[in-house]
Amino acid sequence: MKQPPWLENAEGKMRRVGVELEMSGLGIDALAECVAGFFGLEIRSRGRYERVLEGDSAGDWVVELDYDLLKRLGREAHAEDTLEGEMALAAEGALAWAAEAIVPVEVVGPPLPLDRLGEVEGLIVRLREAGAKGTSDSLVNAFGMQFNPEVPDTYPDTITAYVKAFLCLSDWLVARADINLARRVTSYVDPFPQVYTRKVIAPDYRPDLSMLIDDYLADNPTRNRMLDMLPLFLFLDEERVRKVTDDPLVKPRPTFHYRLPDCEIHKPNWGLYLAWNDWVEVERLAADTARLNGCCAAYLAFLDRPLERWLEAWKDVLETEWLERP
């Protein structure tokens, strides 16, 4: 796995990364037991559809059904000896049965130091051996792998550089990720609007934090982006973000929320390293000011030439001219 250019956060500690894996093939309890066994953790139930795995120095792991309504219902107690309780449990059971075919179970890891990402690769192998299934195992499996790299600092110039780099590399990232049809037809990983891309990659775009957040919210008031910046912006300025979106699923975190990759956990050669190494190219471009400025100017010129866009793909230009060679 490649190393990002920034290894430490603003406090001088090793940066951390949270990883989320969506899958089928294992029930909640079987999945929880597999993860707990791999890391030596204790399992605690938090309702009928959630398990909290305790004992990791980095924080708790969570195994859950990725369906917010069912999770809320699963935390409620029902008196089974009353008609109302029986009806509530029956309705919940019917909903759970209907969700089973399309809703993934999910492993949500705590923020792990960069030097522990190899442990996630080991966990993926263990889950594969236990029968976990990923995105392409079924036509309806819109399953993803998400990760949340901690920001190296919260300076506007640093965050802007990341966004510029991601916008420049997004076509290449999509081609590399080869997103499954089940996820492409949903809105989970929508691209950024071109009007926003043009604004941000312009050479004179150097906003302060308020302008950076406002510009993002004006064109992207949604979680459904390949790179979801709402958790970071909510962490930095909650009042400003909540004026635009009150989505309860957006939680404040000092991280980038990368949502693009599929979770192909059932495939023998698949692992976190594939998407992670591509993400590191975003970080490397963001850290190289001269290369980033040149790439932004080239991309803006490319967008301004329709014939060139028809004859040549931007991802190919990136690979030949702007990406670092191994």
Number of alpha helices (DSSP H) and beta strands (DSSP E) in the chain: 14, 9
How many CB atoms are located within 10 Å of the residue 291 CB? 17
Arithmetic mean of pLDDT, 154-179: 94
SS percent in the chain: helix, strand, coil, step 5 = 50, 15, 35
Distances (CA, A) of 118 to 123, 124, 275, 311, 324: 9, 10, 14, 41, 24
Q: Which two tokens stand for residue 40?
A: 């030596």
pLDDT-based confidence at residue 308 (cuts at 50, 70, 90): low
Please provide the average confidence, as pLDDT, over all residues in the chain.
87
- Position 104 confidence tier, pLDDT thresholds 50, 70, 90: confident
Confidence at residue 54, expressed as pLDDT on a 0 to 100 scale: 98
**Confidence (pLDDT) at 154:** 97
Label residue 47 left, alpha or beta by phi (over 0 means left) and psi (-120 to 50 means alpha): left
Quote the pLDDT of residue 97.
45
When pLDDT is cut at 50, 70 and 90, the band that residue 142 belongs to is: confident
Across 35-53, average pLDDT: 93
Q: Judge whether residue 98 has pLDDT over 50.
A: no
**Cα(285)–Cα(26) distance, rounded to whole angstroms?**
39
Q: Decide: residue 170, CB within 10 A, 0-12 exposed, 13-18 middle, 19+ buried.
A: buried
pLDDT for 325 equals 58
pLDDT of 179 over the 90 cut: no
Q: What does the domain layout of the chain look like in residue ranges?
A: 13-132, 148-326
Give the pLDDT mean for 236-262.
Answer: 94
Determine the pLDDT at residue 216.
98
Least confident of 98-112, 191-205, 229-243: 98-112
**Model pLDDT for residues 260-298, shown as the tens digit of each residue:** 999 999 999 999 999 999 999 999 999 999 999 999 999
pLDDT band at 180 (very low <50, low <70, confident <90, very high): low
Predicted confidence at residue 190, as pLDDT, reads: 81
Residue with the larger pLDDT of the pair 187 and 254: 254
CA distance 147 to 197: 22
Cβ pair 80, 71 in contact under 8 A: no
Q: Which two tokens stand for residue 31?
A: 């999945």
- pLDDT above 90 as % of the chain: 69
Residue 243 burial (CB < 10 Å; 0-12/13-18/19+)?
exposed
- Segment of 15-29, 126-140, 304-318 carrying the highest mean pLDDT: 15-29
Mean pLDDT, residues 5-25:
96
Range with lowest mean pLDDT among 46-60, 149-163, 281-295:
46-60
- 36-64 burial, b for 16+ CB within 10 Å, e for fewer? bebbebebeeebbbbbbbeebeeeebbbb
Q: What are the angstrom distances between the C-alpha of 179 and each of 88, 134, 137, 191, 279?
A: 38, 12, 13, 12, 15
Residue owning tokens 């890891």: 109
Q: How confident is the model at residue 95 (pLDDT cuts 50, 70, 90)?
A: very low
Q: Indicate whether 101 pLDDT > 90.
A: no
Q: Which two tokens stand for residue 216?
A: 């993002």
